[in-house]
Structure 1
Amino acid sequence: MGLHHGQVLRILRDEGPNSRAILARRSKLSATTLTHVTAQLLADGSVVEEEPGASGGLGRPALAIRLLPDAHHVAGVHIGAGLVQLTVTNLLGSPKAAASFEYGLPNTSPEALTTRIADEIERLKAVSGVEDLLGVGVGVPGPVDAGQRSILASINTGWRNLPLAGMLERRTGLSVVLEHNVSAMAVAEARFGLGRNVAAVLFVYLRSGLGAGLVVDGMPFRPGGHGAVELGHIQISQDGPLCSCGNHGCLESYVNERVLMRSLGSEGSAPADLLMQLERTASWKPTLARLTDSLAIAISLLTPDLIVFGGHLGDAPDSLFSHLREHLPPRVMPHMREILRLERTSFGSQSGPIGGAAVALDHFFYSGARL
């Protein structure tokens, strides 16, 4: 029955209130099964019955079933290289409270980091007034295992085969699920942002590295059962600089915070307007060219309908988007030229933690697992 609950909940999430008759048709459940499912959801408090809007038809219209967004909540966590962001959201991914903190690499141990994350989750619960959480979704800097329990390899942090979900569960007492962090951002856009009803959404994110995540027909693309879309490690020059992955000439070896800050003659933390500052330097044109080259390859391989940009790319000047909209279409297949959209993320600087929350909602609520 859990799968049936999940079917109905996803329809209500994506389409809004619906009558039982429409829910039965959309879910392909029998009227009897649909009645049992909605009864349990009503008893759980996840949905409510209400009078539908004005109708021009004859007779009294059927009652509608509506999702109650604040019936349950989850925590979302984004772990980057040196930065953790957290949020508590409702069932539609709307934040109730948010926090962030920096940590040092390589001096901060995973044990210390998970302890701090657990403490921050407790603090966010108190701030938001949320007493119970369904679980925690964590976006991590690297691919995860098929069970979404361990980080397989994180180049920027040095973690390998780290059972982070179990570690965090022991400290929070909550169920935890992991996802590659930029893949989680793509999930958030597909569920609650610009990517709703879009067949293929590619999210491209620039901070300490350059990452990407893809959602196809509503499902995160995880090649090999655990892989990530390694846009930053497309090799664009065989004799280029050494990349953190050990190869030479990867896109990320040219386009990352450290390298771009060096182009500005600066060190330390990168400002939010990093690319706006870079636009005024001689490094801007080669940066645009390298990014365009790699995106053209990614589009030909992955055929996304929508590319969403986050991190520094989400804060980039309009000239970056103008350049890409002009120069990418001629370099991709003709059928892609008319449908491809390029947009900034819906969630601004919160795309990471809302991504973690979206993964938690998929896993612990919209799957129907809790019922």
Structure 2
Amino acid sequence: MPSARPQTDVNRTAILAHLGAHGPASRADLARALDVSPALVTQLTRDLLADGLLEELEQSSSNGGRPARLLGLVSQDATAVGVKVAPDHLALVEVGIDGAVRRSETSPFDAISPLATSALVDQVRTFVQSPEAGRILGVGVGLPGTVAERGIGVVDSTQLGWNQVPLGELLRRALDLPVVVENNVNALSVAEQLFGQGRSFRNVLVVTIGNGVGAGLIADGVMVRGRAGGAGDLGHIPVEENGPLCQCGNHGCLEALIGQGALVQAARSGGVLPAGDGIDDLRALADGGSGGAREIFARAGHRLGRALAGAVNLIDPEIVVLLGEGVEAWNHWAPAFDRALRSSLVPGKRGTPVVVERWQDDRWAQGAAALVLATPFDAQGVAGDQGRLMRERLVASIEARP
């Protein structure tokens, strides 16, 4: 029987997040809200009370029977900083224990500049040292690429043009804070476990569409990272043997066919878009009834549906969550996607639900911040020493309250 230990860790963070968002609650209320057993909630809250993170409050009113004791957070001062790194911009957020954004900022960024890492470090340092900052537990960084060990943070990224960049070490040295670095889709998947559609499921496939195509897999409550942190490269599934060149160096990858750059290129080549126009213009044309623009999105939807059916057939998730910049045009992807997906699934998996979430750009940075919120209870040790340091800061933030 699989161990429940890793899922227990996520539930500890989820209890803190729920109480931060909704206020005091009884153990029975928590069990219902988080869709876990009352026995598990009793065990987890006992640990959180012993750590000094929760406190017993007054009894709740009762319609008969024994009144329930309410639990509340000892303090809501602890925060986490999340950083999204994209080829052309940075997005930073500071979130509370409930995952809600307290402040944010976005700025231009040139990932291929020789001074890129210095500029990134300077901006993050300015953000965390702001007078508005709370008691920061640590910094999470999400980016398009491979990170072999989250707590070390050495990055390989074709999108950013980075090879073996020691980003975690650079940030820790400059900030004097714990830092975890992760693939951006994996970071979003952690956020889905804590705050999103994946909260009630132990087997979730998170798929993002935008400049690239990525996937994050939660299996039996555990994030699947692969041998060196590279699991989930859905965008590099080979689709057309002699297809267009992908940024990874191969030809005919899914990403090279349905990423936003590929859609724009197809529209320009087909005379649908003039040179200089981009994905927003293509979406506007489709919204306005352009048959050529709609066909481009429909073809992308068909290809995504076929590829995703293969992934669902292989890993058998309980739910698929679709999000990313590309979902802003989802009404043009959806019909062809649905037909291709359902017709390509094996019969027993054709009922797998697919949920499309609304998108805001700071979701990437929120996902990176969720890494920090989940790390203090990381029993698997994925974050290495950074998990211990974040836990110490979490407990210290309680002890330092007025």
Pick the TM interval, shorter chain: 0.7 to 0.9
Shift of 1:362: 0.8
Distance 1:36 1:322, change over 3 A: closer
For 1:100, what is the secondary structure of its paired residue?
strand
The answer to whether the Cα contact below 8 Å between 1:12 and 1:67 also exists between their aligned partners in 2 is no
Matched, 1:288 2:327: no
**2:60 matched residue in structure 1:** 53
The one-letter amino acid paired with 2:252 is G
Q: Residues of 1 paired with 2:339 and 2:329: CA distance? A: 16
Computed over aligned residues only, the root mean square deviation of the Cα atoms, in angstroms, reads 3.2
What TM-score do you get using the length of structure 1 for normalisation? 0.84
Q: Does 1:244 align with 2:244?
A: no
Separation in 1, partners of 2:61, 2:109: 54
Q: Displacement, 1:81? A: 2.0
TM-score normalized with structure 2 length: 0.78
Q: 1:333 to 1:320 in 2, by over 3 A?
A: same
Return the match for 1:174 from 169, 174, 177: 177
Whole-angstrom CA distance in 2 between matches of 1:268 and 1:65? 57
8 A Cα contact 2:95 2:103, kept in partner: yes
State the shift of 1:73 in Å. Answer: 0.4
SS in 2 for 1:314: helix
In structure 2, the residue corresponding to 1:74 is in which secondary structure?
A: strand
**Please, which runs of 5 or more residues in structure 2 have no aligned partner?**
1-5, 20-24, 32-36, 380-387, 396-402
Question: Contact between 2:110 and 2:116, CA under 8 Å: does it hold in 1?
Answer: no
Moved more, 114-123 or 142-151: 114-123
SS in 1 for 2:192: helix
Counterpart pick for 1:78 among 50, 73, 84:
84
Sequence identity of aligned pairs in percent? 26
For residue 70 of structure 2, what is the amino acid of its counterpart? A
- Contact 2:79 / 2:134 at 8 angstroms: preserved in 1? no
Alpha-carbon separation, structure 2, partners of 1:69 and 1:142? 35
CA offset at residue 58 of structure 1?
A: 3.4
Structure 2 partner of 1:26 = 40
Deviations 1:236-263 (A, max 9, x none): 1111111111111111111223222221
Alignment-derived partner of residue 301 in structure 1: 314
Could you report, residue by residue, the CA deviation over 1:90-142 in whole angstroms, capped at 9, with x for unpaired residues?
1121100111112124225343233233244236x43xx33320001111211
Structure-2 residue corresponding to 1:99: 105
* Equivalent in 158, 176, 188 of residue 161 of structure 2: 158
In structure 2, what is the Cα distance between the partners aligned to 1:242 and 1:222? 26
User: What secondary structure is seen at the aligned counterpart in 1 of 2:200?
Assistant: coil
Structure 2 distance, partners of 1:18, 1:269, is 54
Distance 1:239 1:303 in 2: 30
CA shift in 2, pair 1:231/1:36, >3 Å: closer
Deviation at 1:292, TM superposition (A): 1.8
**Cα distance between partner residues in 1 of 2:354 and 2:119:** 38
Aligned pairs for 1:334-353 within 5 A = 334-345=347-358, 348-353=360-365
Paired residue total: 356
For 2:367, which of 355, 360, 363 is the aligned residue? 355
Relative distance call for 1:242 and 1:36 in structure 2 (3 A) is closer
- SS of residue matched to 1:65: strand
CA distance in 2, matches of 1:7, 1:233: 30
Q: Who is 1:222 aligned against?
A: 225
Gap change, CA 1:36 and 1:144, over 3 Å in 2: closer
Q: Where in structure 1 are there 5+ consecutive unaligned residues?
A: none
Aligned with residue 40 of structure 1, among 47, 51, 66:
51
Matched, 1:234 2:237: yes
C-alpha distance in 2, partners of 1:140/1:305? 26
CA contact under 8 A between 2:80 and 2:96: conserved in structure 1? yes
Stretch moving more, 355-364 or 220-229: 220-229
Moved more, 325-334 or 173-182: 325-334
Give secondary structure in 2 for the equivalent of 1:289.
helix
The Cα shift of 1:191 comes to 1.0
